[in-house]
A and B are shown apart, each in its own frame.
Chain A
Amino acid sequence: MLKDITLGQYFPGNTVVHRLDPRTKLLWLLGYIVALFLAKNIWGYALMLGVLITESALAKIKPKTLLSGLKPLIFIVIFTAVVNLFYGTGEPLWQWWILKITAEGIRKAVFMALRIMLLVCGTFLLTYTTSPLQLTDGLERLLGPLKKLRVPVQELAMMMSIALRFIPTLIEETDKIMSAQKARGASFDTGKLSERAKALLPLLVPLFVSAFRRADELATAMECRCYSGGEGRTRMKQLVYRRRDLVTGIVMVLILASAIVLRTV
């Protein structure tokens, strides 16, 4: 059950999208989000939908996989749509008490839902096609200039990659400890709320103990390999911009330009 979480999952592959420089992909996502928020009519949304479909086709990510990522957010999407539905101004199509639905309300609701879904799917495409290691690498390089302002960029990136690395480990550990306590008669899914909260203790204490132990072991292992922070560190895999990154950049500029032009249609 816990193993079914797909958030931030990476699907290894060797497509153009996978091979792009992570910096390009991060900037692409930024541009994509800006373009998405520029869209205000059907043409703008059609453009962004087209971009997303092309992108996922190039990355060979199935639409089903992409949509399955939306599952946990379905409530938020519906909630936003419903709220927007009743907030339109103009001639009401249907009215009851203070609730009224207008043509503009429907339009807004559909666009809002579409915007959230496009936003989430676009972000998922990034994590689906970029390994966590590459992602933090790219982020570190993009935030590099902040080092001048004494922001510990390298340390932050290292913390992020360690955190990402340990998510599956901790999930596995939780599963294991849960089974062990269940074998001693603990039950996590019955009883009143207060009882359930109390029942979590036999799970949380060992989990914390082992998380601290792991952190300690990792720190020792890193020190044994002479890790001493970012100063003077070189990389095994250098990030290099290639021609495909340039092409991607030009395409994004074109998309942004079209998004602006389509606003006036």
Chain B
Amino acid sequence: MSILETQNLTHVYSRGTPFEKVAVDNVSLSVDEGELLGIIGHTGSGKSTFIQHLNGLLKPTAGKVLFQGRDIHASKDALRAVRFGVGLVFQYPEYQLFEETVFQDVSFGPKNMGLGEDEIRERVYEAAAFVGVGRELMEVSPLELSGGQKRRVAIAGVIAMRPRVLILDEPTAGLDPAGRESILENISQFQRETGAAVVLISHSMDDIARFAQRLIVLHEGRLVMDGTPAQVFDRANELKDMGLTVPMATEIALALRARGVELPESVYTTKYLRKLLTALREGGGPC
């Protein structure tokens, strides 16, 4: 069942001036409850503009955004409820930390919801646990933390609102490999345990291939592909024409196939590729 939906969403920047630019062009998309949806697209493809419509930060030039079936711009109160129901984590969210302690910063969202103290405490600890921030850090100033920890705290600040849809704009940008891995694991765990839908923007095709259940591709503001990772990465050549890459495993599989090794379609995770190649070797193939 769809929880968040856009209908013919269009956004034009600086309308009526020489700087006019169509950032999002007639995008209709529905996010199903509990799914992990990946969004990929080149820089400037409209991804960031698009997701800012999903919690009502930007108002569409044309078209509608529906959350749980209702137009989010119907009334001011509805819009506020949407902010809490659709959590949005911006790129480099660590720059938004401002409170004296980690605990206070994570509780900013729940406090704005008007919750009671006990409820807030419960949610803060729950959110901190999801992103792997220990209780010993709760009374530390967020400015004293390392970059990776700050990022986790910032994500916890959004998770603490218990959103039904969590949107993350490149949550792993600028982190080391171990940090990327564990943040993505945390997010995936959040999705499984709470049943919330997660929308993940990433430039790393390998990450997307591993975690996303469904994948959409934006190009010049338009929705050009929508399907399972297998369906999308099978159109590797089209992706490359758009200036995008494919996962390393797909790249290798394509190169091998070009050299006459018989491999099935839809290879996009390293795990699957390794299984295929091991099977080939044991079967006496050219590997």
Binding site for B on A (CB under 8 A): 173, 176-177, 179-187, 201-202, 205-206, 209-210
Contacts and interface: CB of A to CB of B under 8 A. Distances in A.
Contacts of A173: 95
Contacts, number: 56
B79 to A, nearest CB: 10
A179 B90 contact: yes
Given A186-B112, A209-B143, A180 B96 contact: yes
A211 to B, nearest CB: 11
B141 to A, nearest CB: 11
Given A176-B90, A209-B143, A184 B161 contact: yes
A210 B95 contact: yes
Contacts of B89: 183
Contact of A182 (B83, B93, B98): B83
Q: Secondary structure of the A side of the interface? A: helix
> Interface centre among A173, A176, A183, A209, by most B CB within 10 Å?
A183
B267 interface: no
Contacts of B109: 184-185
A184 B113 CA distance: 9
B215 interface: no
Interface string B95-123: 11110000000001100110000000000
A181 B96 contact: yes
9 contacts: A182-B57, A183-B89, A184-B109, A185-B109, A186-B112, A202-B96, A202-B108, A205-B98, A210-B95
Q: How large is the interface on B (under 10, 10 to 19, 20 to 34, 35 or more residues)?
A: 20 to 34
B158 interface: yes
Most buried by A among B52, B96, B158: B96
Interface string B74-102: 00000010011001111001011110000
Given A202-B108, A209-B143, A183 B83 contact: yes
B229 interface: no
A173 to B, nearest CB: 8
Given A177-B96, A206-B96, A206-B97, A184 B157 contact: yes
B90 A180 contact: yes
Nearest to A180: B96
Contacts of A209: 95, 98, 143
